[in-house]
Amino acid sequence: MASLERFALAPDLTICRILNGMWQVSGAHGRIEREKALASMAAYVDAGFTTWDLADHYGPAEDFVGEFRRRYVAERGEPALADLQFCTKWVPRPGPMPRAAVEAAIATSRRRMATEILDLLQFHWWDYADRRYLDALAHLADLRDAGAIRHLALTNFDTERLAGILDHGIGVVSNQIQFSLIDRRAEVRMAPFCRERGVHLLAYGTVCGGLLSERYLNQPEPRGSALDTASLQKYKRMVDAWGGWRLFQELLAALNEVATRHAVGITTVAVRWVLDRLAVAGAILGRRLGLSDYRDDNTRVFAFGLDAEDHARIEAVLAKSRDLLSLIGDCGDEYR
């Protein structure tokens, strides 16, 4: 088995470059059974996938992490937790951001996750017109400096607002954005800026909810009940905007050719492509804990590389797609 790649977001925070995404436990991807979920989390950790991405509003995700940490300590001892990384998010409703409210939100996440220090707190804000996100971030920076948060990060901020936050003197280590073969907006502004300013990217939507896989190769366009998860519905809309199902089939065919050359799957190629992009530290892959298991496929991402021939074959299709930056806007603009 290949050695899993790791990346230092900071000197004291090294992550696995494939992160376990926990949006799928929030209720929009089918029923998740608690005990099966916890067993699945243990299996991923034992396979080397030690980094988890979650949020305060992902249903029971923070509670699952708290219970997992308690059991992990009971079985392996407190020092073993140092090898795991749990990256949560705070997504407040825009409005006044007094220090007490920010402290209370972070205290709730720390309690739910059974930890004194949050490894990475990723902040999201829905409304740029309400600039009180700067107040929230200033309080979060104080909490970081006080030791309640190890590192501060962002989720779905565009390049302009990211620049403003940094220029405001608030340091962040990463920005989590949608980034895939379908959504390449980050390559225009975000990634070059992040490389220049030392901010890393965490990519989600990398496999488009499973659409970038053999399951959809040479298949009719899925509609209605065939799109049975929130992820499939979301990323099918992105495919439609990008170029539609016919062009998507061309892309899957090209990816299948590349995958066959390397004896891997289409999804594996799609993840490798994103991990090789400028400023990308890691890719977040959704885990339907207890329902599916992709440990072996994910490990293969680290066992091969894409060469010039592979990139040329893929780019020949990508060149036919629409410019999503002009259609949607910069990273995160789809939420505002």
Average pLDDT over residues 86-95: 98
Tell me if the pTM is above 0.75: yes
**What confidence score (pLDDT) does residue 112 get?**
98
The pair phi, psi for residue 83, each rounded to 5°, is: -90, 0
Closest CA to 48 of 86, 15, 87: 15
The residue whose two tokens read 């079985």 is 75
Residue percentage of the chain with pLDDT more than 70: 99
Which tokens go with 126? 């829905």
Q: Are 314 and 47 in contact (CB under 8 A)?
A: no
pLDDT over threshold 70, residue 1: no
pLDDT over threshold 80, residue 30: no
**pLDDT band at residue 32 under the 50/70/90 scheme:** confident
**What confidence score (pLDDT) does residue 257 get?**
98
**What confidence score (pLDDT) does residue 143 get?**
98
Q: How far is CA 83 from CA 46, 51, 66, 76, 200, in A?
A: 11, 9, 16, 11, 21
Mean pLDDT score across all residues of the chain: 97
Span 141-184, pLDDT tens digits: 999 999 999 999 999 999 999 999 999 999 999 999 999 999 99
Residue percentage of the chain with pLDDT more than 90: 96
Domain 6-210+267-304 has CATH 3.30.70.980: no
Q: How far apart are CA 112 and CA 70, in angstroms?
A: 11
Amino acid (1-letter code) at residue 175: N
Average pLDDT over residues 6-27: 95
Span 224-237, pLDDT tens digits: 999 999 999 999 99
Span 209-220, pLDDT tens digits: 999 999 999 999
Average pLDDT over residues 267-278: 98
**pLDDT band at residue 117 under the 50/70/90 scheme:** very high
Higher pLDDT residue, 292 or 22? 22
Provide the residue ranges of all domains of the chain, joining segments of one domain with +.
Answer: 6-210+267-304
pLDDT over threshold 70, residue 26: yes
**pLDDT band at residue 2 under the 50/70/90 scheme:** low
**pLDDT band at residue 50 under the 50/70/90 scheme:** very high
Handedness of CA 123, 127, 129, 130 (dihedral sign): negative
**What confidence score (pLDDT) does residue 292 get?**
87
The pair phi, psi for residue 187, each rounded to 5°, is: -70, -20
